Chain A
Amino acid sequence: MTKPRVAFFSFSSCEGCQLVVLTIEEQLLELVNLIDIVSFREAMSEKSEDYDIAFVEGSITRTSEIESIKKIRDTAGIIIALGACATIGGVNCLKNQFEMEKVQDIVYGKMASNYDTIPARPIESVIKVDYWIQGCPIDKDEFIEVTKAILLGKKPRIPDYPVCVECQMRENVCLFEKGMVCMGPVTRAGCKAICPTYNDGCTGCRGLIDDPNLSSHKNLLNERGLTVDEAISQYMLFGGNSKEKYE
């Protein structure tokens, strides 16, 4: 059996999710026995335009990136969006609150026009995506699970329950009970509730579950002293691509 040819690509991002892939370390060496990694600019010099599976990190923030991602779609049989920037837009979308001319001016001043930028968007705004690995950054166990399932030709199991479920399983004291603010009730699980476990509120980096009870969650936030605008601002930290979803 020929090994599937796998490529990694990055668009606008911190490349932290690919770094998570590099931190699976000894398992990465086992994985390399099962697949041919044919393109992974952050880690290797070899490069190929012929691949079956593409992992794509980052969001689309330039006109030229639209063409590049379409080319990847034309080549790859399977595309997996890797991390919040690719799946839901991530922090890159925070700039979308301004006109792009203003964004360019804030950073580059009078040379702004040299730096093309468009409102940031997740890759599925441009192409069809087959699978999503959520999070900022991704969770390495979930990366391994999803990759294994894809290699076995199975559909990966992605949780459709909120972070609260995992948080309770870890027997954490609910942060709302401590008077804190948390996006856990509406955010897709799979991170093992890592932020609440370290006594920090979930920031929603894995995106909303399929059927979130936003009105009840907003009431909770309101009880902790957040105005409606501040609540929406919380949803927008990683998911700023779709403000209308939160209103």
Chain B
Amino acid sequence: MHDFHVGIEHITRVEGHGNIIIDVKEGKIRELRMDIVESPRFFEAMALGRSYKEVAHITSRICGICAVTHTTTSIKAIEAALGFEPSAQTIRLRKLLLNAEFIQSHILHVYFLTAPDFFRVGSVFGMVKDNKEVVLRGMRIKTIANELCALVGGRHIHPITLKIGCFSKNPESKDLAAFKKRIEDLWPDIEETVKFFKGLKTPEFERETEYISLTNPEEYALYDGNIKSSDNGEIEPSDYLDTVKEFMVTHSTSKHARSNRDSYMVGALARFNNNCDQLHPKAKEVAEELGLKPPCYNSYMNNVAQVVETVHCFEDSIRLIDDLISGDLKDEKIELIPKTGHGVGATEAPRGTLYHEHKIDDNGKITYANYIIPTGQNLSNIENDLRTLVPNILDQPKDDIILNIEMLVRAYDPCISCATHLMKVKFINE
């Protein structure tokens, strides 16, 4: 097919509203863009004038899927502004909560949003008839992750207990110990998950790009670390604007970003490429089993990297629970005195590196806020991937072309509410 025009309006099975416009004439791309049509929500304005204590309540509402990461990152920015370091216990509880959010988000994506493509059905509901056991397995894993979020955070969507300095309420040691047993008992489901994804054929594709993630000498960086670019090496989180250069395009209510090149990738594959040596040995085994080797330049493999990270997060959760229950959990009560300050928080969200920056005044009121969202950082890279992909698949039937395009976009697990907030497909024959 040398000429085609594709307009994908409101990409489905992604979080939020976006469209894809591709116009090909005589085998050459005349136009290719991903329109982000989600209503902008103006969080940087909403936070102004609010108390430093409540700003994490507000920023949690940027995203229902990664509310834990937004809350955590906002809190870290405030703590940085006030020069406060939380206790080892608080950091362990935050990491445990973050692991649980990664698992629920990755499982939601790989089982419920991505897997239907491989069965050529429109949704997970379409999988129930012939593949009910697959659906139920995904649900069992996701339920455990949701419940772990609730145990530590009070609830998963918009967590309650995460506070500046400490947790408002600690989980009971006996409940944590019981959870460790539940995770260990879940292992057959994890093994089946690996077998299931081994059986799915990931489309072939390759385009090398710049990969950016946090990195930490101590561990596979999710909670904390320096910013690492595969092109330029490491910088401190407070210098994030040296790496993340946001810019606006008229076809998107979400800002785009570039760094060393005209686009870069964040998320599970970027983290894997930058830091895979630090994965838990079981996660490394799964990566090998699923054919994921660094450096991997196939963006579709982001799904596989998510499965690998799921295994890592389960193992890391067991380790954290062991550490937490080895002594008594202490009730901490920390009240920070507000003072003029400026701080940046950087955390890995399931979809990539998230930055929150806050300035506060002597009364603890927010005077400046900036939030940089993973999906916004990926948008230019998605468009660049599509520019490489489309000319190579023009000989395929229309439906296959569309499926390949949608699967590539979906592999990034875009979260467009976050990025402000993608898909319906229609061919217009010229």
Contact = CB atoms under 8 A, between A and B. Distances in A.
B265 interface: no
Nearest to A64: B39
A61 B40 CA distance: 8
Contacts of B123: 40, 43-46
B61 interface: yes
Contacts of A107: 40, 42, 44-45
A206 B356 CA distance: 27
Contact of A25 (B17, B50, B143, B417): B143
A239 B361 CA distance: 25
Interface string A65-82: 100000000000000000
Interface size class of A (residues with CB under 8 A): 35 or more
A47 interface: yes
A1 interface: no
Nearest to A47: B424
A29 B134 CA distance: 13
Contacts of A98: 45, 48
Interface in B95-138: 108, 112-113, 116, 122-126, 128, 135-136
Interface stretch (A10-18, A123-131, A160-168, A211-219): A10-18
A137 B64 contact: yes
Interface string A171-195: 0000000000000000000000011
Interface in A1-48: 10-20, 22-23, 25-26, 29, 32, 37, 40-47
Contacts of B61: 14, 16, 90-91, 136
A144 interface: no
A103 B139 contact: no
Contacts of A65: 39
Given A91-B61, A106-B48, A111-B248, A117 B13 contact: no
Contacts of A16: 61, 63-65, 67, 157-158
B51 to A, nearest CB: 8
A15 B125 contact: no
Contacts of A148: none
A65 B155 CA distance: 30
A199 interface: yes
B251 to A, nearest CB: 10
B interface: dominant SS: loop
Contacts of A241: none
A33 B403 CA distance: 28
Contact of B13 (A15, A45, A111): A45
Nearest to A12: B39
Nearest to B425: A45
Contact of A198 (B57, B146, B168): B168
B39 A45 contact: no
Given A16-B158, A44-B122, A47-B424, A61 B39 contact: yes
B55 to A, nearest CB: 11
B175 to A, nearest CB: 13
Contacts of A61: 39, 41
A200 B167 CA distance: 10
Contact of B40 (A20, A97, A115, A199): A115
B321 to A, nearest CB: 19
Contacts of B35: none
B54 interface: yes
A32 B128 contact: yes
B250 interface: yes
Given A14-B62, A43-B113, A103 B158 contact: no
A134 interface: no
A19 B157 contact: yes
A95 B48 CA distance: 9
Given A61-B41, A200-B160, A45 B12 contact: yes
A14 B417 contact: yes
Interface residues of B, number: 61
Given A23-B146, A65-B39, A94-B58, A43 B160 contact: no
Contacts of B248: 108, 111, 114
B334 interface: no
Contacts of B64: 13-20, 137
B329 interface: no
A195 B13 contact: no
B49 interface: yes
B58 A44 contact: no
Contacts of B135: 29
A203 interface: yes
B351 interface: no
A198 to B, nearest CB: 4
B161 interface: yes
A46 B122 contact: yes
B27 interface: no
A40 B14 CA distance: 11
A97 B58 CA distance: 15
Interface in B60-80: 61-65, 67
A137 B63 CA distance: 11
B347 to A, nearest CB: 17
A13 B161 contact: no
The 9 closest A-B pairs by CB, nearest first: A16-B64, A44-B123, A94-B46, A45-B122, A198-B154, A14-B64, A199-B168, A45-B12, A198-B160
Interface of B: 10, 12-17, 39-42, 44-50, 54, 57-58, 61-65, 67, 108, 112-113, 116, 122-126, 128, 135-136, 139, 142-143, 146, 154-158, 160-161, 163, 168-169, 248, 250, 253, 417-418, 421, 423-424
Given A15-B65, A114-B250, 9 more contacts: A13-B64, A17-B64, A25-B143, A26-B139, A37-B125, A45-B13, A111-B250, A195-B154, A200-B160
9 contacts: A10-B17, A14-B417, A90-B61, A95-B45, A106-B45, A111-B248, A114-B248, A199-B161, A203-B54
Interface of A: 10-20, 22-23, 25-26, 29, 32, 37, 40-47, 61-62, 65, 90-92, 94-95, 97-98, 102-104, 106-108, 111, 114-115, 117, 136-137, 194-195, 197-200, 203, 233, 237
